[in-house]
Chains A and B, each alone.
Chain A
Amino acid sequence: MGRNLKQHHVNIGGIELLNPVMPASGVAGYGEEYAQIADINKLGAIVTKTITVKPKRGNPPPRIWECDSAIVNSVGLENVGIEKFLSDKLPLLLKFKPPAIVSIGGTSPDEFALLAETLDSAGIQAVELNLSCPNVGSSHLIAQDARETVKILRATRKKTKLPIIVKLAPDVTDIVPIAKAAVRAGADVLAIANAYLSYVLRNDGKPVFSRGYAGLSGPAIKPLTLRLVRQVHNALPDVPIIGIGGIMSVRDALDYFDSGARAIAIGTGILIDPFIPFKIIDGLKTNC
């Protein structure tokens, strides 16, 4: 793969991307919010925020904090729920040119299966299984456990023919066995990775967030996540990887491609400069 990025269209695991650059789940909202200020038709794909079976109200404020070279967030998967997503959000999302990838989240194999089944013929290109949100439930993440990951993958795989992306957790002793298990159980693409669990305090010594621990992202995590991408790519050279973590520039994108990623997603970078994905898309055309 490496730096041969001149072609615009990229097929990863059956997903036809217009180019290898997309927003990470969360920062583009349901698509329409990001579309207010940017021409999102130029993106490789549109990835929604995570949708759950029931609506979720999310965590109490504050939900975001800046520290050196990183930001910490604790949104808690606030979303309208699958029913309202299908009626109110999806029709608009499907009007845009890039393929729609819907991120889904849940607490059991049944919930993931239900969401995948509901979305199977909805006109989207792929589902992304968020098995690694650091801001809901207990501090234990699904993607920290290979067996739990497999159970959810198997249940989901049975209910949809859509390509399945699995978003892995960075906070693990060894990511490779979990990545392998996910692929064996039916994952087509691996998204590596999510925000890192962290802990930030206010000046008065109290934790910033009501849940205490929260997800850290931004430029600081790029070298950490690059390592995870490299490890998984070495172990599973044929499995397409979407690299996500601290991407701010063309150079950062190239680092991910050179470490084995076939596409990249930008999260925090979009909050810092909403045009970063487009700068990278243009840069990849001229630099490579």
Chain B
Amino acid sequence: MNHPAAKKDYQPLVIEANIVSNRPIKENYWRLRIEARQIARQAKPGQFINLSCIPFESAPPVLLKRPFTIAGIYQPARTKRSQCIFLDIIYQVIGKGTIELTQRKPGEKLQMIGPLGNGWPLDGGINRTHHILVAGGSGVASLAWLAQTLGKPLSDKRRVTLYYGAQSKRYLLSPDELGTRGITVHYSTDDGTHGFHGKVTDLLARDLKHAGISGARSRPRPLVPSRENAIVYACGPREMLKSTFKITHSSGIPSFMSWEERMGCGYGACQTCAIPVTGNRYARICTEGPIFRGDEIRWAET
């Protein structure tokens, strides 16, 4: 299956964006809302921004920008500012950059470049009815927007299912927090405090097996996912992506992976965000990704 979204139909811009709000959601998850009309208007699920965590000084304590997946766009309704389109990111506070980012206040400006990257293949699975989204931890930010977008045409027979795993219940974001009300979600936690006790990929494997398609020859039934009607999108830790690929590849279901790596420029110049792909080469995650077909990744080298 091709990745139609790989055709570049967006123009990345460098802007000094106004912070609208920057608040903790729960545990170490925060939501940053930025006023970035020109970027938000072009953005689609799976794309990202490369964001400075601090306004510039001659030598800021955080140097490089950080890539954040766009968690959604938001248009304030019926206000004088209806011209505004806000762009949201959901970030987990884990290192120097994100700790610095929590210090930013509304009204401050941060430089950002976006939209960047190919985004999820929105029409890649147009003939498929079972859209299976697999999210681990903060990876849910990218898939929540995809889930909303895929879930929009209410008339068709499309089923959107989100498999969503985290360490523990307190790290799980709710459908309200994610804007995914109406989407079927299967939860898993490593400690068993909510949903399936174990890895999200074990839950996925169990359900696919239940549907009778894991490895064994499938008998097409429209109501259950099969290699003929399903498509998988995954975003999360590297090990989760690996397991997702293993499970779905052996079942013959096409998969797409959102890939994360340390990044420099964000627009294809510096060649630092590399992923080993077929053809014995490295692809640039920022411009050729961040979404890759599962079967084009050289997994043994990741």
Contacts and interface: CB of A to CB of B under 8 A. Distances in A.
Contacts of B275: 61
Interface in A10-53: 26-29, 33-34, 36-38, 49
Given A27-B270, A78-B271, A62 B262 contact: yes
* B interface secondary structure, majority: loop
Interface residues of A, number: 40
A271 B14 contact: no
Nearest to A270: B265
A37 B64 contact: no
Contact of B264 (A28, A60, A271, A273): A271
B271 A63 contact: yes
A251 interface: yes
B65 interface: yes
Nearest to B281: A57
A210 B190 CA distance: 31
A173 interface: no
Nearest to A252: B58
Interface string A64-87: 111011110101001000000000
A75 B272 contact: yes
Nearest to A269: B63
Contacts of A218: 63
Interface string B267-302: 111111111100011100001000000000000010
Contacts of A34: 267, 269
Contacts of B13: 37
A137 interface: no
A271 B13 CA distance: 14
Nearest to A70: B63
Nearest to A31: B269
A1 interface: no
A49 B113 CA distance: 22
* A interface secondary structure, majority: loop
B207 interface: no
Nearest to B268: A33
Contact of B274 (A58, A248, A268): A58
Nearest to A64: B272
B177 interface: no
Interface residues of B, number: 38
A60 B274 contact: yes
Contacts of A29: 268-271
Given A61-B262, A63-B262, A36 B270 contact: no
A63 B268 contact: no
A272 interface: yes
Among B64, B269, B280, residue most surrounded by chain A Cβ atoms (within 10 Å): B269
Contacts of B261: 61-62
Given A29-B269, A268-B63, A64 B263 contact: yes
Contact of A271 (B60, B270, B274): B270
Given A60-B276, A61-B261, A248-B58, A71 B12 contact: no
A78 B282 contact: yes
A199 interface: no
Interface string B67-102: 000000000000000000000000000001100000
A61 B273 contact: yes
Contacts of A231: none
B111 interface: yes
A73 B264 contact: yes
B239 to A, nearest CB: 16
Contacts of A58: 271, 274, 282
B281 A274 contact: no
Contacts of B11: 36
Interface string A179-192: 00000000000000
B57 to A, nearest CB: 9
B269 A251 contact: no
Contacts of A37: 12-14, 113, 267
Contact of B270 (A26, A60, A66): A26
B123 to A, nearest CB: 24
A14 to B, nearest CB: 27
B271 A66 contact: no
A76 B65 CA distance: 22
25 contacts: A27-B270, A29-B271, A33-B268, A34-B267, A36-B11, A36-B268, A60-B301, A61-B273, A62-B261, A63-B271, A63-B273, A64-B262, A70-B63, A71-B64, A78-B282, A251-B58, A252-B58, A270-B265, A272-B56, A272-B60, A272-B63, A272-B65, A273-B111, A274-B265, A275-B14
Interface of B: 11-14, 52, 56, 58-65, 96-97, 111, 113, 261-265, 267-276, 280-282, 287, 301
Interface of A: 26-29, 33-34, 36-38, 49, 57-66, 68-71, 73, 75, 78, 218-219, 248-249, 251-252, 268, 270-275
